[in-house]
Amino acid sequence: MSEKQLKCTTEAGIYQKNWFAQLRKDVFEENKPYAITQADMPLELFALMGLPVVSNQWWSAIISAKQLSAYYLERREEMGFHKNLCTYCSLGMVSTLDDKPEVAPWGGLPKPAIMSARLTCDCIQRIFELWARSFETVFYALDSTANTTLPPNWWELSRYDWEQLYQPHRLDFMSGQLWGLVSELEKISGKRFDIDALKQLMEGVNEQEKYFEEACEMIAQAPKTPVRMAEQITNVMTCQWHRGSAWAIEHARKFRDEIRERTANNIAAYEGEQIRLMWVGAGLWHDTGFYTAFEEEFGAVFVWSMYLAFGPDGYLRYGLEDPMRALASRVVSMNEQLHNPPWANEWITHQARKNRIDAAIVLIPKGTRPSATGSYFISRSLEDSGVPVLELWADMVDGRSWDQEEMRNMVSNFIRQSVL
């Protein structure tokens, strides 16, 4: 989407691009360490130890947005990897193995000091092992455990009653793994870990997420959404990659303030809004213009995605007497809450009611199993609550099989038949 209605959206894009340019300069010219991790990792620990983090998913989104996914996925097959390998998780690895800085976005990824991932699916461990081997660097894995019981409405417990929600045995195990990660980061950075600094950073994250919560409430209550979904994603995720930092807190406040001003002045993202759409799944990074394609004909506006809404419900933690344990509670089920039943379907249906959603578009990525596992249950839960659902079988970063005209016609027909 080229149109940016919020000043802070442009600022977020500039900040992230400049941040990455500075990271490359620091690594190449001063040999400073940085990390490549999965998005559901405890980025706070890396930040405290002076290691900037490039999220694997963010890098895949950049590759896709720059229309390079087809090139890299063809190269992946030429390298001998099977066609069904997770695209979201493997694009970054292939861009490194391809080793062509003149092709890669912004010159490509320099060598990290460490790579780290939570093992949420079968392919993650092998991808990161091969990727780390190509860089000749360290790979540190976190295990993925599961709840033995799950009370309803987990988002009502996650802020204050997280010990009960995520279960003591899981938090014991994950805390131990996080302390092991800290030991590795101390070796790499030469710095001593400060638990009080972690508590302060977690408090900063809470402040940032409270701004997002206020933004969520205003968007949900406004007669017409004051900010398009794509602009929500840009602002929120840029902050989340740097969460708890002074810049991220201030930018979240600016985002909240712009939405407050637009709401107070009855400024809608699209004045002709008639239908409120929900997008379920990761962003469609190779065709973000899709999100505004149905406004003019139908007044159908995408007002919700998981990115903004998950900040308050997934990140806020109170009771920080043991900040490492609180951080562990945030890590243990992040992917499950966004994608897996019964976590995801209950929460997304709750969000649909809260945001007065008229219809939902559910992305079922063919090549990214962790993001697709709960799609059936999410769709059925939404339909049972009275929200019409259209499932799009496509991929968030692989645009090769995405027929723009066909997909937009499919959504248009769905709106005519199921919503109007």
Strands (E), 89-190: 114-118, 138-142
How far is it, in rounded angstroms, from Cα 9 to Cα 234?
6
Confidence class for position 112, pLDDT limits 50, 70, 90: very high
Name the residue type at position 40: D
How far is it, in rounded angstroms, from Cα 269 to Cα 169?
46
pLDDT at position 83 over 90: no
Among 418, 153, 193, which Cα is nearest to 324's? 193
Question: Looking at residue 265, what DSSP letter applies?
Answer: T
What is residue 82's predicted lDDT score, i.e. its pLDDT? 87
How far is it, in rounded angstroms, from Cα 353 to Cα 270?
21
Confidence class for position 80, pLDDT limits 50, 70, 90: very high
| pLDDT tens per residue, range 368-411 | 666 667 889 999 999 999 999 999 999 999 988 899 999 999 99
Question: Looking at residue 281, what DSSP letter applies?
Answer: S
- Mean pLDDT, residues 196-201: 98
pLDDT at position 268 over 90: yes
Confidence class for position 365, pLDDT limits 50, 70, 90: confident
Bond from prior residue into 365 cis (ω within 30 degrees of 0)? no
In this structure, of 117-121, 133-137, 225-229, the range with the lowest mean pLDDT score is 117-121
What is residue 215's predicted lDDT score, i.e. its pLDDT? 98
Cβ-in-10-Å burial (0-12, 13-18, 19+) of 97 comes to: middle
What is residue 399's predicted lDDT score, i.e. its pLDDT? 87
Among 375, 378, 379, 396, which Cα is nearest to 388's? 379
Architecture of the domain spanning 7-193: 3-Layer(aba) Sandwich (3.40)
Among 109, 128, 112, 116, which Cα is nearest to 183's? 116
Name the residue type at position 4: K
pLDDT at position 98 over 60: yes
pLDDT at position 1 over 60: no
| pLDDT tens per residue, range 233-248 | 999 999 999 999 999 9
Q: What is the mean pLDDT of the chain?
A: 95
Among 58, 14, 15, which Cα is nearest to 35's? 58
What is residue 366's predicted lDDT score, i.e. its pLDDT? 77
CA atoms within 13 A on the CB side of 369: 10
What is residue 180's predicted lDDT score, i.e. its pLDDT? 98
| Cβ–Cβ under 8 Å, residues 66 and 58 | no
Q: Which residues contact 162 (CB under 8 A, 6 or more apart)?
A: 317, 319, 326, 329
In the chain, domain spans: 7-193
- Mean pLDDT, residues 162-180: 97
| pLDDT tens per residue, range 341-351 | 999 999 999 99
pLDDT at position 107 over 80: yes
pLDDT at position 154 over 60: yes
Q: 3-state DSSP call for residue 142?
A: strand
Positive or negative CA dihedral for 367, 371, 374, 380? Answer: negative
Confidence class for position 329, pLDDT limits 50, 70, 90: very high
Percent of the chain with pLDDT over 90: 90
Q: Which residues contact 341 (CB under 8 A, 6 or more apart)?
A: 374, 377, 378
